[in-house]
Amino acid sequence: GGTIVVVGAGQAGFQAAASLREAGFDGSLTIVGDEPVAPYQRPPLSKAYLAGKATAGTLALRPASFYADHRIALRLGTRAAALDRAGRQVALASGERLAYDHLILATGARNRPLPVPGADLAGVLQLRTLADADSIQARLAGVETVVVVGAGFIGLEFAAVAAARAIAVTVVEAAGSVMSRAVSQATSAFFRQAHEAAGIRFVLGASAERIAGADGRVTAVETTDGRSLPADLVLVGIGVVPNADLAAEAGLAVADGILVDHTLLTSDPAVSAIGDCAVFPSPFAGRAPTRIESVQNAVDQARCVAARLTGRAAPYAALPWFWSDQGRLKLQIAGLARPHDRAVTRGDPATGAFSVFCYRHGHLVGVESVNRPADHMIARRLIAERLPLAPEQAADPAFDLRALVR
Ligand code: FAD
């Protein structure tokens, strides 16, 4: 029994509600979401959906009937504006107040705005929501030249989709390599070359300094190294900011996200936080608390909290894994490879299929696989179960990895 309110109708919020019902929670259950649509998958927004190979209907995590069938009330298109922790109530922007016995914050993250003049010109866009994807899609038809600011996952996925539509694409990135915060040098270099071979141009080690426009519309991106890159459309993908304001204003502990303990409880035992907004201690991340932006993390943290709230408390210890599709290249990552002090490659990158095994102090901490899904599945087990694999064995194509997990 009891009443659970979930704030945030994204991947994590949806999964928390679904898992609570699956685990037998039979009290009142409400999800509050500020987007106007029922929970959907974000990953296809920068991949199949933007490429025109998926429809909004196929993105929905469940059909509308699911929520009715499972007595999950959806309050969509409305923000949770304030928390009254002493009175255990959430105040919605609409003025309505929802009482709770337990509150789950699954507020996700929002795009980091580009802090330069001209960033508000028409045609300068970001991608987080279905509405963002629709407005990009609507403009893409007439576009000939695109500049992508930021060579992270979303920037590169978008660049690949645009290049496949014969649009001239230039990617501007402040770091000296692509996906530098997330992957090994070998994987980064491979992706840069593959994108260049597909016609994408890179300007590395420079940032956007100003966006130029005419009649309120973007015309070019001016960079710190003195270039003016023509653009009909600019896609800004420079990372996200966790949505922690609601928690902070209610006096919960925050630091680049909502701080939670190893069971995903905030500093208030009646409030949990999960997904992109949560900063948690991970057994795979070394000592410092971490925040992970991935479907795996959102789903597994939701399941962990649902289990705790239905009497099966356990520390959160799921192995992080991630994927990114960039054109015909499927990147899969098991574990958290940054930082690492040794990396060995299995398979030949020249064939377009290989894995990079990353070690920290002699332990395997992350494996990046490109078009090698079998390596990825084995790597998940090797890292999660801390099975020994010497770098020399990982690099030896004759060494049978499958035998280790049989
Ligand atoms: P979100 O999905 O962001 O959901 C949070 C929801 O809460 C949002 O709807 C937000 O508007 C709402 N909200 C916030 N504050 C309030 C409030 N006060 N009141 C009401 N509602 C509120 N991950 C992968 O693993 N693989 C991928 O390939 C991949 N690709 C991606 C591509 C794109 C374009 C994007 C944007 C993300 C991608 N991700 C990918 C990341 C993944 O989608 C996120 O990690 C995941 O959605 C996080 O789920 P979440 O529920 O924590 O946050």
Give the domain CATH number at 156: 3.50.50.60
Question: Does 76 lie in the same domain as 8?
Answer: yes
Question: Does 254 lie in the same domain as 199?
Answer: no
Q: Whose CA is nearest to atom 31 of ligand 1?
A: 43
pLDDT at 271 over 80: yes
141: left (phi over 0), alpha (psi -120 to 50) or beta: alpha
Question: Does 152 lie in the same domain as 225?
Answer: yes
Question: Does 181 lie in the same domain as 168?
Answer: yes
Backbone angles phi and psi of 49, in degrees to 5 = -65, -45
Cα(119) to ligand 1 centroid in Å equals 23
Question: In sequence order, which residues have a C-beta less than 8 Å from that of residue 164 and are 6 or more positions away?
Answer: 51, 198, 327
Nearest by Cα to 267 from 142, 375, 139, 105: 105
Cα(45) to ligand 1 centroid in Å equals 11
Rounded distance, CA 382 to CA 42, Å? 28
Question: Does 334 lie in the same domain as 305?
Answer: no
> To 10 degrees, the CA torsion angle through 265, 270, 275, 280?
-20
Burial class (CB in 10 A: 0-12, 13-18, 19+), 181: exposed
User: What pLDDT is recorded for position 278?
Assistant: 98
Tell me how far the alpha carbon of residue 309 is from its chain's centroid: 25
The atom number, within ligand 1, closest to the CA of 32 reads 20
Question: Does 80 lie in the same domain as 43?
Answer: yes
Q: Is residue 31 part of a domain?
A: yes
Specify the long-range contacts of residues 257-262, CB closer than 8 Å, at least 24 apart: 257/291, 258/105, 258/107, 259/289, 262/315, 262/316
The atom number, within ligand 1, closest to the CA of 276 reads 52
State the average pLDDT over residues 101-123: 98
In terms of residue numbers, what domain contains 249? 3-110+241-309
User: What pLDDT is recorded for position 108?
Assistant: 98
282-299 tens-digit pLDDT: 999 877 899 999 999 999
The atom number, within ligand 1, closest to the CA of 92 reads 19
Encoded tokens for 6? 């979930």
Q: Is residue 279 part of a domain?
A: yes
> Total structural domains in the chain?
3
Q: Which domain-ending residue is among 238, 264, 295? A: 238
The atom number, within ligand 1, closest to the CA of 109 reads 3
User: What pLDDT is recorded for position 288?
Assistant: 86
Cα(42) to ligand 1 centroid in Å equals 7
Q: Which residues line ligand 1 (CB under 6 A)?
A: 7-13, 32-35, 42-43, 45-46, 79-80, 106-109, 127-128, 154, 243, 246, 275-276, 293-296, 298, 322-324
Q: Is residue 20 part of a domain?
A: yes
Cα(74) to ligand 1 centroid in Å equals 17
Q: For a ligand 1 pocket test, name from 107, 305, 376 the mutation site with the most ligand atoms within 8 angstroms of its C-beta.
A: 107
User: What pLDDT is recorded for position 167?
Assistant: 97
CA-based angle 37:38:42, to the nearest 5? 85
4 DSSP β-pair partners: 29, 102
User: What pLDDT is recorded for position 287?
Assistant: 78
Half-sphere exposure of residue 348: CA atoms within 13 angstroms, side-chain side = 2
Q: Is residue 115 part of a domain?
A: no
- The DSSP annotation for 51-105 comes to TTSS-HHHHBSS-HHHHHHTTEEEEES--EEEEETTTTEEEETTS-EEE-SEEEE
Cα(209) to ligand 1 centroid in Å equals 28
The atom number, within ligand 1, closest to the CA of 275 reads 52
Q: Which domain-ending residue is among 253, 281, 309? A: 309
Question: Does 217 lie in the same domain as 194?
Answer: yes
Q: Is residue 24 part of a domain?
A: yes
Q: Is residue 315 part of a domain?
A: no
Cα(103) to ligand 1 centroid in Å equals 18
Q: For a ligand 1 pocket test, name from 19, 37, 42, 125 the mutation site with the most ligand atoms within 8 angstroms of its C-beta.
A: 42
Cα(36) to ligand 1 centroid in Å equals 14
Q: Are 109 and 240 in contact (CB under 8 A)?
A: yes
Question: Does 71 lie in the same domain as 8?
Answer: yes
Q: For a ligand 1 pocket test, name from 293, 301, 316, 336 the mutation site with the most ligand atoms within 8 angstroms of its C-beta.
A: 293
Cα(227) to ligand 1 centroid in Å equals 34
Cα(10) to ligand 1 centroid in Å equals 6
> Percentage of the chain surpassing pLDDT 90?
96
Cα(193) to ligand 1 centroid in Å equals 30
Of the chain, the end-to-end C-alpha distance in Å amounts to 42
Backbone angles phi and psi of 304, in degrees to 5 = -65, -45
The atom number, within ligand 1, closest to the CA of 321 reads 25
CA-based angle 331:332:337, to the nearest 5? 110
Question: Does 187 lie in the same domain as 98?
Answer: no
Q: Whose CA is nearest to atom 12 of ligand 1?
A: 8
Question: Does 80 lie in the same domain as 36?
Answer: yes
- Checking ipTM against 0.95, whether it exceeds it is yes
SS3 367: strand
Cα(29) to ligand 1 centroid in Å equals 20
Question: In sequence order, which residues have a C-beta less than 8 Å from that of residue 121 and are 6 or more positions away?
Answer: 211, 213, 216, 217, 218
Cα(300) to ligand 1 centroid in Å equals 14
Q: Are 269 and 283 in contact (CB under 8 A)?
A: no
User: What pLDDT is recorded for position 23?
Assistant: 97
Q: Is residue 119 part of a domain?
A: no
Question: Does 161 lie in the same domain as 92?
Answer: no
User: What pLDDT is recorded for position 338?
Assistant: 87
> Alpha-carbon torsion 141, 143, 149, 150, what sign?
positive
Q: Whose CA is nearest to atom 23 of ligand 1?
A: 294
Question: Does 134 lie in the same domain as 91?
Answer: no
User: What pLDDT is recorded for position 406?
Assistant: 86
Binned at pLDDT 50, 70 and 90, residue 104 comes out as: very high
124-172 tens-digit pLDDT: 999 999 999 999 999 998 999 999 999 999 999 999 999 999 999 999 9
Q: Which domain-ending residue is among 309, 340, 356? A: 309
